[in-house]
A and B are shown apart, each in its own frame.
Chain A
C-alpha cells in the first residue's frame, strides 16, 4: 500500500524563476524508510515543506494514505494531513519541558490515553528519566530523540526528517544512526528523510533516490539499494 504518493511536483519561489523542483514523482510504501539525497540548494528541504503543507506547489499533486492533500484545486492545511516532521534544528518548544513537548500533539486524546502514549514514547527513545527537563538542559543527541518522540506520538501516517544528523557531533553519529533505525522499525513507521550524506542513507534507509544537481530542472532519479 502506498502511504505517500507524489506526482509531477513543481515549485519555484517566484513566478518566472527557474523552478527549484520540476516534475518530481515518487511513492513510498507502508513501513519503508526512504532517503532523499541531494546537495544543499537542491530543493530537498523544500520537498519536505511541500509534502507537509508549509509551502504550496505550483503544479503536481500529493496524496497521503490514499487521500489527496494538494493538487490543482485543493489545499489541505498542514495540521490536517497526518504528517509528522522532525526539523533540522528540532524546534523543541523552549518554554515547555520534555513531557509537555511530547504531549503537545496529543490534545485530541483522553487523559489516560495521553499518559500512556507519553510513557510509551519516552520508553521508545529511552528518555524516561528526562521528562521534567527543559530543552536547553539536554544534549544535542537527547534533543533529537525528544523531537523524534514528539513527532511519533500522534501516530502520523508518514514521518519526515530534515537532515536528522546535521546538528550532531561526528563521533555520536554512528551510534545514533543505528539507534534511529531500530526505533523507527520498532514503531513500524513509514519515514522519508532528506540528507546530503550518503552514509546516513546507507545506515538507515531501505532505499533511496537523489535529487540530481546537473540539470537545472531537478528530476528525480530513482535508485534502489
Chain B
C-alpha cells in the first residue's frame, strides 16, 4: 500500500528536472560537508599551536570587526533610508539611488585607495603639510588598523542595510507612520518609536548581509594586516601548506556562522510583524532652510566618502599609468575575467532555473532543496574554496587509474589544477544570488500559465520552454547580471582556486596593491567598478519600471 503510494507520487514528480536538481544540490553540499567533517578527524600538531597561541587574537579581531561594522552600517543605513524616503530635499532623487553606488566599489579596492590617500605621500597629508603647514601624527591618521577596516567596511557595505530598509519603508510603513503623525507625535518621535522598531526585521536582514561580507573578506584585513579567522585560513594554507589545519579553522568558522544564523532566527521568531502588503507609498515631507541643507550635507558626505572621492582618486592614478597598463596583456586579463564570470553565471542561472522551477510545487523536498542550493551565500569564500579543493584532490586521487590508462602519467593533478575548480567554487558561492532573482520571477508569473499549458497537452519541459521561459526572461537577465557582477568583484575564492598563473581583474588589482604598485592597480580597479555599477543601474531601471 505504502510502496504503491510512493510509486504513484514518483510517477507524478520524478523527472529530469528533479534529477538535475539533486545532482546540483549534491555538488554544492559535498565540499561543505567535507569541511564540516574535518572536525571529527584527529588534528595535527600545527592545530594545537594555532589554537593555543593565535586563535584568541583571531577570534577577538573577527568579533570586534563584526560588531562595530554591524553597528555602524545599521546607523548609516537606517538614517539614510529614513531621510531619503520620508523627506524631500535638494538632490534627494539623485541620492535615492546614488547611495547604492558605494556597493560598486569592492572594499579591498577602497582599502588600498584610502590607505594610500592617507599615507605620508598621499593627498591628505601632503595637502595638510604644504597648504596648511600642519604635521599630523602618522599613528592618528593611519587607516591600516582595525579602526580603519571598520571605516572601510562601514562606508562600502552600508548600502545593504540602506537598500533593504528603504524598500521596506517605502512600501510597507506609510499607514503606521501617518497614523503616528496624525496622533500628534513629532517627526523624531515617530522615527524612534515607530520607524526603528518596525523596520527591525529589515535592518537585521541587511546587517546579516554585511556580516557575511565581512566574515568572507580577505582583501581588506590582509592588506591592513589584521588577523582574522579568514586570513588565518589563508596563512595556514599558503604559509604552512597545512590544508588540514586550514580546514579545521574553516570548520570552526562555519560552526560560528551556523550558530549566528540560529540565534538570528530565534530572535526573530517572536518578532514577526504582520504588514499590509498593499499599502500606499509614503508621501515625503518637504524640508526647508537649515534642515534641508543638513540633510543634503549628510547624504553628500556619505556619497563623497563612499563613492566620489575614491573614484576621483582612482581616475587620477589611472591617468598616470594609462600607457603602462592599457596594453594587450590587459585585454587578455579582461577577456579572462569576463569569460570565466560569464560561464559561471550561465551555469548558475541554468541550475537556478531548474531548481526554482521544481520548487514551485511547495513540499518538504523542494523546501530543503532550495535551502541546500542557496547555502553557499552565507559561507565565506575561503571555506568554500578549501572544501572544493579538498574534494577535487580526492577526486583526482580516485581518478588516478583512469589518468594512468590514458597515459597522462602517475597520479597527476588534472581536475584540481583546472579552471573547472574555480567555476564550481563560484557556482557554490553565488548560487543564491541567481536563485533568488529567478524565484522572484517565477513567483510573479505564478503557476496558472504552466497549468494551462499542461492541460493543453504539453509536458513539464515543453510547457517551460514555450510559456514560462518567455515570461521570466527579465528575471533571467537580472539574475545573470547580478551574479556576473558578484563574481567579477569576488576576491578570496579566486585567489585560492585559480589555476597557476591565471589572473582576473580582481587578482591583478590586489596583486598590484600588495606589491605597492598602487597607481597600476587603478585601471583594473576602475574596470571592476564599472562592471559592478551595472547592478546599481539595473536596480534603478527595475524600480522605474515598477513605478510605471
Contacts from A to B (Cβ < 8 Å): 52-54, 56, 70, 72-75, 77-79, 83-85, 87, 89, 91-95, 104-105, 107-108, 150-151, 154
Contacts and interface: CB of A to CB of B under 8 A. Distances in A.
Given A79-B463, A85-B451, A95-B471, 11 more contacts: A72-B1, A73-B7, A77-B459, A79-B459, A85-B455, A89-B448, A91-B449, A91-B451, A94-B449, A104-B466, A151-B455
B467 interface: yes
Contact of B8 (A74, A92, A150): A74
Select the residue from B8, B452, B454, B463 with max chain A CB neighbours within 10 A: B452
Main secondary structure of the interface of B (DSSP, over half): helix
Nearest to A103: B456
Contact of B12 (A75, A83, A108, A151): A75
Question: Which 9 pairs show the lowest CB-CB distances between chains A and B?
Answer: A105-B456, A91-B452, A75-B11, A91-B448, A85-B455, A78-B454, A75-B8, A75-B12, A95-B470
Nearest to A147: B452
Given A79-B459, A93-B467, A107-B457, A72 B4 contact: yes
A54 B9 contact: no
B458 interface: yes
Nearest to A58: B5
Contacts of A56: 8-9, 12
B442 to A, nearest CB: 15
A87 B456 contact: no
Main secondary structure of the interface of A (DSSP, over half): loop
Interface residues of B, number: 25
B415 interface: no
Contacts of A92: 452
A83 B455 contact: yes
Interface of B: 1, 4-5, 7-9, 11-12, 448-449, 451-460, 463, 466-467, 470-471
Contacts, number: 74
A104 B455 contact: no
A151 B499 CA distance: 56
A54 B361 CA distance: 10
B283 to A, nearest CB: 30
15 contacts: A52-B455, A56-B9, A72-B8, A74-B11, A75-B9, A75-B11, A77-B12, A84-B456, A85-B451, A85-B455, A87-B451, A95-B471, A108-B457, A154-B456, A154-B457
B441 to A, nearest CB: 14
A87 B458 CA distance: 16
A79 B12 contact: no
Nearest to A90: B452
Contacts of B4: 72-73
Nearest to A72: B4
Contacts of B11: 74-75, 77
Given A73-B4, A95-B471, A150 B9 contact: no
Nearest to B9: A56
Contact of B456 (A70, A77, A104): A104
Contacts of B449: 91, 93-94
A150 B448 contact: no
Contact of B455 (A72, A73, A79, A108): A79
Contact of B452 (A53, A87, A107): A87
B457 A79 contact: yes
B7 A79 contact: no
A52 B1 CA distance: 24
Nearest to A153: B456
